[in-house]
Chains A and B, each alone.
Chain A
Amino acid sequence: MKPTLAVWKFASCDGCQLTILDLEDDLLALTGAIEISDFREATSAVVEGPYDLSLVEGSITTPHDAERIQEIRRNSKALITIGACATSGGIQALRNFADVDEFTRVVYASPQYISTLATSTPISDHVSVDFELRGCPIDKRQLLELVSAFLIGRKPRIPTTSVCTECKRRGVVCVTVAHGTPCLGPVTQAGCGALCPAYNRGCFGCFGPMESPNTSSLIPLLRRLGRSDTDVERLFSTFNAGSEPFRKAAGHG
């Protein structure tokens, strides 16, 4: 029997699960190797669990979702989070540093209709997670590598070094050294192939912090490049604002 795959969505933009459909050529090959049991964006067919592999997109922001993830964990042999929302809370985790009632009043005329938690939290805050795939959005080559490794039962080859190493490998000149452009590459996990620097842009950290990131030496450099405290706070307060190293670097404690 083919292994079964389920794709689950929590608070998110659908971009990471769209990456699965973006596999295009490889998609039909993948569906030949794997039984897609539950993937609401792509199919109305539902097969009951348990599932061999669950891919989870999005963060936990409602009491109902906090319960739903428990049930998914119970019905999944392996559970992998896909993307910054599921792995660090996503951009919607900016509410964690604000007053969510005030946020609700700003967006909705009748706040009493809205049921939401004060925080947006990663999946790993709620259940055990077997692998966290980074990125906002995830990289499709990394996704294919991860699912293939899972199918064969080997360790996935997903680097945990910084974006800087990818610039070197790709032969992209350092945007900070060459143009004085502020860049989060030194503290951001590899995986995108140094995309922004290849487009003359500083990395803005969409893959989240690398292992033991040295943010405390990057911040003075950013200041020397003319960035204000507010600029630095903003730079660390995007799609991985909820991750501990970026949260601290942004001064959110």
Chain B
Amino acid sequence: MARRRTIVTDYLARVEGEGAMTVKLVGDKVEHVELRIFEPPRFFEAFLRGRSFLESPDITARICGICPVAYQTSAVNAMESLCGVEVPEPIRQLRRLLYFGEWIESHALHVYMLHAPDFLGYESAIELARDAPAAVERGLALKRTGNDVMTLVGGREIHPINVRVGGFYRTPSKRELRTLAAPLERALEAARETVRWTAGFEFPERTVECDLVALAQPDAYAIENGRIVSSGGLDLAPAEYEEHFEELHVERSNALQSQLRGGGTYLCGPLARYTLASDRLSPGAREAAAAAGLGSECRDPFRSIVVRSVELVHACEESLRLIEAYEEPDAPFVEVEPVAGTGYGVSEAPRGLLYHRYRIDAEGTILEAKIVPPTSQNQLAIEDDLRDVVTRNTSLDDDALRGLCEQTIRNYDPCISCATHFLELDVERK
């Protein structure tokens, strides 16, 4: 009779939020793989109803302390497109700069504090710091620079207070922004070093075959807005998203899972962005990627740490360019008058596509809200990958297998706080 095994991890560490995983094995056969999200629901979409359309950026920011700018940006995009407002170019560029600050902060956090310990055999970056203080200090310095960008442009690094529908409350002077140039130059060097460092880790060979979905802009590596494109050939306006993607509610999870309508797993985030648009990265990022041995595409979840590092180079280089080119706008914001109807907003959170939809009335009161965070979209892809990784590694003992499963999950940098509207690791062998 086939041996039935059960391996349990109740609470996944080094991910954002609370979640668990169950893997059931009968002999060498994987019977069941499940990610469970027990982060308690907070009901944002319910209590947004009745609020002003102007409150949405501040309220939705509180869904996630790691990517508040993503929430603020998708929210302002939805409201502005509905109300027929296009913000002036300097304001759009400042939004990009603020968003790059969040990418730098979030990627540095994930690469150094959450993910690198897996590759190097440590339980935490704090432990890693005892043996490799220079690396951890480099990561913290990068992270601090991301925070400095967010603090200057957004007022503070967590839940910035300076973002509003129509622009900003106060825009920085050219001189103020210039103070970021020297730290960003150092961060750029640290980011290049990060690519060299992570490219030297050992990687098991993996490829994921699912569809990849990311935002695209014709002449830029999209971050603050764009059209939704996929490796399967989709090219959609934000308003068309729900015609092609749907959310499912599975038992024992406080998160909803997305799939392509009619079935089909897809992945968004760094691998999708890189594979679909590596030609639009900054010159320094393309150079670093080539030196690290990444081709023009990367479908290897373990190497997502290298892709995040390449995106760090991109974010630093682009931020420097934005600061150099910045011209103060005539006014910090444009007045936005509410228009009854439905607005759609998208942007590229550090973990991938973040979709917002709002229906508002003529007074600007929100009647309905829908938010689809990247981790809900990636959950099925993570489960598929996990099933495959376990299938290929059933000869490992329980501890080693659990470690590999956890690392597989962390490859996706899941943000469980976001997905609860996500993880406990519970590998059950029968």
A107 on the B face (CB < 8 A): yes
B123 close to A44 (CB less than 8 A): yes
Closest B residue to A175 using CB positions: B169
Known contacts A22-B158, A40-B11; is-contact A45 B58 (Cβ 8 Å): no
Bound together, the chains give a CA A95 to CA B11 distance in angstroms of 27
Provide the B5-17 mask, 1 if CB < 8 A to any CB of A, else 0: 0000001111111
Find out whether the CB atom of A137 lies under 8 angstroms from the CB atom of B65.
yes
Question: Is A53 among interface residues, defined by CB-CB distance under 8 A?
Answer: no
Tell me whether B256 and A200 are in contact (CB under 8 A).
Answer: no
Residue from the set A31, A95, A199 with the largest chain B CB neighbour count within 10 Å: A199
**A98, A102, A108: which has the most chain B beta carbons within 10 Å?**
A108
A201 to B316, CA, bound (A): 29
- Cα of A159 to Cα of B351 in the assembled complex, Å: 38
Stretch at the interface among A12-20, A144-152, A210-218, A243-251: A12-20
The CA of A41 and the CA of B141, in the complex, are separated in Å by 19
A19-B157 Cα distance, complex, nearest whole Å: 9
The reply on B178 being an interface residue by CB < 8 A is no
Residues 49-66 of chain A: 1 if any B CB is under 8 Å from the residue's CB, otherwise 0?
A: 000000000000110010
**Is the Cβ of B66 less than 8 Å from the Cβ of A18?**
yes
Assuming A13-B65, A24-B144, A42-B126, is B40 touching A61 (CB within 8 A)?
A: yes
**B 151-181 contacts with A by CB, 8 A:** 155-159, 161-162, 169-170
Q: How far is the CA of A90 from the CA of B44 in the complex (A)?
A: 12
| Residues B158 and A107 in contact, CB atoms below 8 Å apart | no
Report whether B46 and A107 are in contact in the complex, using a CB–CB cutoff of 8 Å. Answer: yes
Measured between alpha carbons, how far is A104 from B157 in the docked complex, in Å? 31
Tell me if A106 is interfacial: C-beta within 8 Å of chain B.
yes
Is B254 part of the contact surface with A, judged by Cβ < 8 Å?
yes
Is the Cβ of B59 less than 8 Å from the Cβ of A238?
yes
Interface size class of A (residues with CB under 8 A): 35 or more
B243-254 near A? 1/0 per residue, CB < 8 Å: 000011111111
Q: Which chain A residue has the least Cβ–Cβ distance from B250? A: A113
State which of A17, A27, A36 has its C-beta within 8 Å of the C-beta of B140. A27
Task: Find out whether the CB atom of B159 lies under 8 angstroms from the CB atom of A15.
Answer: yes
Known: A27-B140, A107-B421, A234-B52. A41 touches B42 (CB 8 A): no
Q: Does B213 contact A (CB under 8 A)?
A: no
Check A14–B417 contact: CB distance below 8 A.
Answer: yes
Whether A107 contacts B18 by the Cβ 8 Å rule is no
Q: Do the beta carbons of A196 and B42 come within 8 Å of each other?
A: no
In the assembled complex, how far is the CB of residue B118 from the closest CB belonging to chain A, in whole angstroms? 9
Question: In the complex, are the beta carbons of B124 and A136 less than 8 A apart?
Answer: no
With contact pairs A103-B47, A196-B155 given, residues A43 and B62 touching in the complex (Cβ less than 8 Å): no
Cβ contacts under 8 Å, A199 to chain B: 155, 161-162, 169-170
Given contacts A43-B123, A113-B253, A201-B161, contact A13 B156 (CB under 8 A): no
- Asked if B129 is an interface residue, CB under 8 A from chain A, the answer is yes
A85 vs B62: C-alpha distance when bound (angstroms): 10
Whether the pair A195, B161 counts as a contact (CB closer than 8 A) is yes
Say yes or no: B157 contacts A22, CB within 8 Å. Answer: yes
Known: A200-B170, A201-B169. A92 touches B42 (CB 8 A): yes
Known: A43-B123, A91-B44, A199-B155. 8 other contacts (CB 8 A): A14-B17, A14-B66, A25-B140, A40-B13, A44-B124, A62-B40, A114-B41, A199-B170
Residues of A within 8 A of B125 (CB): 42-43
Q: Does A219 contact B (CB under 8 A)?
A: no
Taking the closest CB of chain A, its distance from the CB of B180, in whole angstroms, is 16
| Closest beta carbon of chain B to A8's beta carbon, Å | 11
A100 to B133, CA, bound (A): 48
B62 engages A13 (CB within 8 Å):
yes
Q: Which 3 A-B pairs have the closest CB atoms?
A: A15-B65, A43-B124, A44-B13
* A62 proximity list for chain B (CB < 8 A): 40
Report Cα–Cα, A201/B63, bound state, in Å: 22
Q: In the complex, A31→B133 CA distance in Å?
A: 13
Task: Answer whether residue A94 sits at the interface, using C-beta atoms and an 8 A cutoff.
Answer: yes
Tell me whether A10 is interfacial, beta carbon within 8 Å. yes
Could you list 6 A-B pairs, sorted by A, with CB under 8 Å?
A13-B65, A15-B66, A28-B136, A42-B14, A95-B46, A200-B169
- In the bound complex, what is the Cα–Cα distance between A137 and B62 (angstroms)? 9
Whether B252 pairs with A113 at a CB distance below 8 angstroms is yes
